[in-house]
Amino acid sequence: MLSVQNVTAGYEQSVVLENVSINAQKGAVTAVLGRNGVGKTTLIKSIIGLIKPMAGKIEWEDEDITSLPPEERVRKGIGYVPQGREIFSTLTVEENLLLGFEALSKKVNPAQILAEIYELFPILKEMLHRKGGDLSGGQQQQLAIARALIGQPKLLLLDEPMEGIQPSIVQLIRDVIVKIAKEKMVGIVLVEHSLDLAFSCADYFYIFDRGTVVAQGRVSETNMNDIQQFLTV
Amino acid sequence: MSVVITQVFNGFSLGSILLFVAIGLAVTFGLMGVINMAHGELIMVGAYMTYVVQQIFAKYAPQSMGYYFFIAIPVAFFVSALLGWGLEKILIRHLYHRPLDSLLATWGVSLILQQIARTIFGAPNVAVLPPEWLDGGVRIAGVVFPYKRLFILVFVILSIFALYIYLTKTPAGRRIRAVTLNRDMASCLGISTRKVDAYAFAIGSGFAGLAGCALTLLGPIGPTIGTYYIVDAFMVVILGGVGKLIGTVLGAFGIGLVSTLMEYSTSATMAKVMMFALIIAFLQWKPSGLVSVKTRSLD
Ligand SMILES: Nc1ncnc2c1ncn2[C@@H]1O[C@H](COP(=O)(O)OP(=O)(O)OP(=O)(O)O)[C@@H](O)[C@H]1O
Ligand SMILES: [Mg+2]
């Protein structure tokens, strides 16, 4: 459903990704692994449209979206949770959540969507009137995921959602990921550092090193020990 | 005692006028970061629109002359807003992140607009007759408060309140704040940042039109009325702290009060020079202005 084809991308002077191809399927969790600085965030930003690839093509539901701006990709059903969460810190939690509805062009029942979100993340309901910036890291992460889910994405890009978060919240976020993939058939691209964590919930994986894919496959058919070498520092 | 009350009232009155010319700028410069030198001419357009509406009333509906002002308010707002919207579409959108270019380009636009005004309405000032019901004033404790000044004070308070409600309570206002805070993230939530830029700019321009409308109550208007206020408007926004409405309000009334007090003790020109010196000194001490964006409690 998402197909990144031979993408080369980077920043002004430096090329970060070279000739990268990956796919992500509906209802499946696709893990993107790799050490610091190998280009995982660059890949995610290329998929959402914050970075224009220098070469290659990005297809979404059989349509070429390579030149569309982020807002149009989001309206086509791609949700994005950036590394570092990017909560609007002076807006309230409620306002942050309401901004999630911007992705939806058709008429929806906000109450019903919000009820589902509060069920996944009960803490948010208690904090509606707090400023986003006053939340703890784990709470902000839940808010960022909730905000993206409100847009009812068919594909959700999660850039290191477990980074710097206490184990109980990691567990909660992991469960939410599995749940929306299996119950709502949402495709998930999960950027992760930890191989254990990624393998505990992913169906497919890609391992990056220095801007290229060095290993890929089905989680169920892969022995973790065989790929550990790409991740140890 | 009555001297003090008069001075304080004059200070608030001047503050209300400064606030009016600065509200629109608080949006386009304060929130969006565009140095729009044509802001003064958008004020001028609002003033001339008020003049036009009055002329139309005088010709076609002299019996309801007293109400022309209430038609002039929306007309001034929408014409200036439309002009600002066009300006953003044609020119400014290509110059975001290029402050010097946008400064020069909008300065050029301001000259063009002044010339157009001269061509249409002539170079001399024209007088707009304020509605009769604004003649006179209330006398309290031996001090006369002119209705016109009171009206402007109420008008500006209602305007800034409307802007505040728009920004904080409506979905469109929420989009503007989101884009201001984090443009990339806003677009990654499905917000069309281009559209938001265009209508935020239109709204800022519309408020300039309202200011022009209010200025007609104080005296004759001419093609260069905008240049007279543009520096003051930037001063207010910068002193108040870029990006915060409450800062603009404090900045305007602060400058208004201090200016009138200084004018009372020296001459008007001297007061203006001293006011500028004071503002510059204050900004040396607090470069981000009265209300800095990082303050969480004041919104
Ligand atoms: N805005 C930028 N301008 C220039 N270079 C950048 C920019 N952002 C990242 N880079 C460089 O691009 C490379 C890849 O960065 P990227 O953020 O994609 O890595 P990552 O795999 O997400 O790392 P991490 O695991 O630390 O998040 C790094 O060498 C980084 O220094
Ligand atoms: Mg990263």
Cβ–Cβ below 8 Å for A82 and B181: no
pLDDT in tens, A18-55: 999 999 999 999 999 999 999 999 999 999 999 999 99
pLDDT at position B192 over 90: yes
Cβ–Cβ below 8 Å for A99 and B178: yes
Instruction: Give the separation between CA B14 and CA B260, rounded to whole angstroms.
Output: 8
Q: Sorting pLDDT into bands at 50, 70 and 90, what band is B30?
A: confident
pLDDT at position A12 over 60: yes
Select from A185, A155, A159, A154 the least CA-distant residue to A173. Answer: A159
Q: What is the pLDDT of residue A103?
A: 95
Name the amino acid, one letter, at B270: M
Inside any domain, residue A112: yes
Residues A101/A105/A109/A110 CA torsion (nearest 10 deg): 10
| Protein residues near ligand 2, an ion, with CB under 5 A | A 40-41, 83
The parent domain of residue B256 ranges over 2-285
Instruction: Give the separation between CA B299 and CA A129, rounded to whole angstroms.
Output: 14
DSSP string, A62-87: TEE-TT--HHHHHHTTEEEE-TT---
Cβ–Cβ below 8 Å for A102 and B177: no
Inside any domain, residue A9: yes
Helices (H), B182-295: 183-187, 193-215, 225-240, 245-265, 268-285
Instruction: Give the separation between CA A72 and CA A190, rounded to whole angstroms.
Output: 21
Inside any domain, residue A225: no
Q: What is the CATH number of the domain that holds A215?
A: 3.40.50.300
pLDDT at position A59 over 60: yes
Helices (H), B26-98: 39-60, 68-90
Select from B178, B217, B162 the least CA-distant residue to B24. Answer: B162
Handedness of CA B194, B206, B157, B223 (dihedral sign): positive
pLDDT at position B292 over 80: no
Q: What is the pLDDT of residue B295?
A: 38
pTM given for the model: 0.89
- Give nearest CA residue, ligand 1 atom 25: A36
Give the residues across from A63 on adjacent strands.
A60
pLDDT at position A220 over 80: yes
Average pLDDT over residues A184-190: 96
The parent domain of residue A31 ranges over 2-220
What letter does residue A230 receive in the DSSP assignment? G
Q: Which helix (H) or strand (E) holds A94?
A: helix A93-99
Name the amino acid, one letter, at A204: Y
Q: What is the pLDDT of residue A224?
A: 84
Closest atom of ligand 1 to CA, residue A211: 14
Q: Report CA(A10)–ligand 1 centroid distance (Å).
A: 9
Inside any domain, residue A231: no
Residues with Cβ within 8 Å of residue A69, at least 6 apart in sequence: A49, B187
Within its chain, how far is the Cα of A3 from the centroid? 15
**Ligand approaching nearest to the C-alpha of A38:** 1
Average pLDDT over residues B284-292: 82
Q: Which of A71, A91, A151 is nearest residue B177 as measured by Cβ atoms?
A: A91
∠ CA A110-A116-A120 to the nearest 5 degrees? 140
Select from B150, B154, B126, B133 the least CA-distant residue to B64. Answer: B133
Please tell me the least confidently modeled range out of A72-81, A89-98, A112-121, B264-273. B264-273
ipTM for this prediction: 0.93
Q: What is the pLDDT of residue B298?
A: 37
Residues of A in contact with B190 (CB under 8 A): 71, 74-75, 102-104, 151
- Give A 186-205 residues with CB within 8 A of chain B: none
pLDDT at position B183 over 80: yes
Greatest CA separation found in chain B? 61
pLDDT at position B296 over 70: no
Q: What is the CATH number of the domain that holds B197?
A: 1.10.3470
Are residues B289 and B238 in contact, defined by beta-carbon separation less than 8 angstroms?
yes
Are residues A102 and B191 in contact, defined by beta-carbon separation less than 8 angstroms?
yes
Inside any domain, residue B232: yes
For residue A36 and ligand 1, the question of a CB distance below 6 A is answered with: yes
Q: What is the pLDDT of residue B293?
A: 56
Q: What is the pLDDT of residue A230?
A: 84
Q: Sorting pLDDT into bands at 50, 70 and 90, what band is B66?
A: confident
Q: What is the pLDDT of residue A127?
A: 94
Name the amino acid, one letter, at B200: A
Please state the domain count of chain B.
Answer: 1
Q: What is the pLDDT of residue B105?
A: 95
Please state the domain count of chain A.
Answer: 1
* pLDDT > 70 in chain B, percent: 97
